[in-house]
Amino acid sequence: MRISRIPYRKGMMLRRETNREWLNATTLAACAALGAAFFTSLFAASASAQIARVVDDSGRQFFVNAEPPVKPNLNATKARPNIYLPAESSFTGHSRPAMEIGRDGVEKLVREASDRHSVDPALVRAVIETESNWNPKAYSRKGAGGLMQLIPTTAQRYGAYDVFNPQQNIDAGVSHLKRLLERYGNLDLALAAYNAGEGAVDRAHGVPAFRETQNYVQRVQNAYFRPGSGRLPDAFINPHAIHRDVTPDGRIIFTNE
């Protein structure tokens, strides 16, 4: 019985030793692969963190331990998308054919309406930018629509029966703005009336204490008086600008009055 059991035990020992050797070899190979990957990533990170030389636009040189920033391509200009309005018809008889107009076409409408009503085109552009951000399909929760955000009653008063038609909207909006400028003789009050209504301005005897209206007046004037707006130099004076005055005795005074 003992003799018959000896070969069986030797076979099991041999298989166990073979399995142990295979497991050790597999473990060593896996460790070697992980080590190689670790050192590869370490060296790659070290390479990317090397000292780099950066030259700015004025010719000055900087040495930084980071990759040089990617300079944007300032020469590439993004094409302005065209404005497309599908054809519409209504039971009231006011139909609109399909039309497509680009931003340059809208600028042309602004110039024509401004010349027709003697309003600074830069002011009209500032109102459009603040009201709709040049979106002819813009529609507010208060019912105002189009580029200059006209409510239906105001639009129809000036002959615009389709507030989403850029030509009708701009012509009516410029006409309304012109009348407000003539009535109040003040840019702040005219813009406040354009936003909150003439009744609110009359009741407040000035710009109403509505946060929306006050922010609106400021935003339009920021767009109108900013450099490069193309405004007419003698059209309006920025009431919030800092002026430099010299007194008779030679003192220099800076004031916003």
Q: Is 157 exposed, middle or buried (0-12, 13-18, 19+ CB in 10 A)?
A: middle
Six token digits for residue 174: 């410029």
Question: 106-118 burial by CB neighbour count: b if 16+ within 10 A, else e?
Answer: beebbeebbeebe
Q: Is the dihedral of CA 129, 133, 136, 142 positive or negative?
A: negative
Q: Is 131 a catalytic residue?
A: yes
Q: Is the dihedral of CA 218, 224, 227, 229 positive or negative?
A: positive
Q: Which residue is associated with the tokens 């409510």?
A: 151
Active-site residue, selected from the candidate residues 21, 100, 112, 131: 131
Q: What are the φ/ψ torsions at residue 86 (nearest 5 degrees)?
A: -70, 160
C-alpha–C-alpha distance, residues 132 and 121, integer Å = 16
As annotated, the active-site residues are 131
